[in-house]
Amino acid sequence: MPPPLPEPVVHVHVVLPYEPEPEPTRRERLWAWLRQIGRPWQVVGALTLASLPLFDGHSVATLWASCVAEARAEGGQDAGYALALTPLGIAVIRIVQGGGTLRRLLLLAVSLVGLAGAIDLYDPVTWITGVRP
């Protein structure tokens, strides 16, 4: 007598209506980005410490920006950008590798304001055209 035939296997697929998750709002994206950098109190603390007037009405960030601007005036465009971008690069590398601590975020905030001391509005024109003022 032959063996009994196996019962047929039936696969049933049910497709439910798919609703994609709504796109995050601008505020939610900003909040997620800040959470990646560090804790919100650390970000706020670093920005506060960087802009707090400590020395005769000047903050650490504005003092660094004036030092970078003076280096640019005395040493040229290259010296200003080198002095501004070095601590900025160090801060970014340290934050990416080890997370954002208050000290690292303070360095980032101060170096970003210092970069403003190195930037001149004629720099993009100089880079594009090659013409020196």
- Does residue 3 lie within any of the structural domains? no
- Does residue 5 lie within any of the structural domains? no
Q: What is the pLDDT of residues 31-74, one digit of tens each?
A: 887 777 778 788 889 989 998 998 888 999 999 999 999 998 99
pTM attached to this predicted model = 0.69
| Proportion of the chain above pLDDT 70, given as a percent | 99
- Does residue 73 lie within any of the structural domains? yes
Q: Can you give the residue range of the structural domain that contains 105?
A: 39-129
Burial class of residue 90 (count of CB atoms within 10 Å of its CB; 0-12, 13-18, 19+): middle
Distance CA 51, CA 73 (A): 24
Q: How distant, in Å, are the alpha carbons of 6, 7, 13, 45, 61 from that of 10?
A: 12, 9, 10, 62, 70
- Does residue 32 lie within any of the structural domains? no
Helix axes 40-51, 60-75, angle to 10 degrees: 60
- Does residue 33 lie within any of the structural domains? no
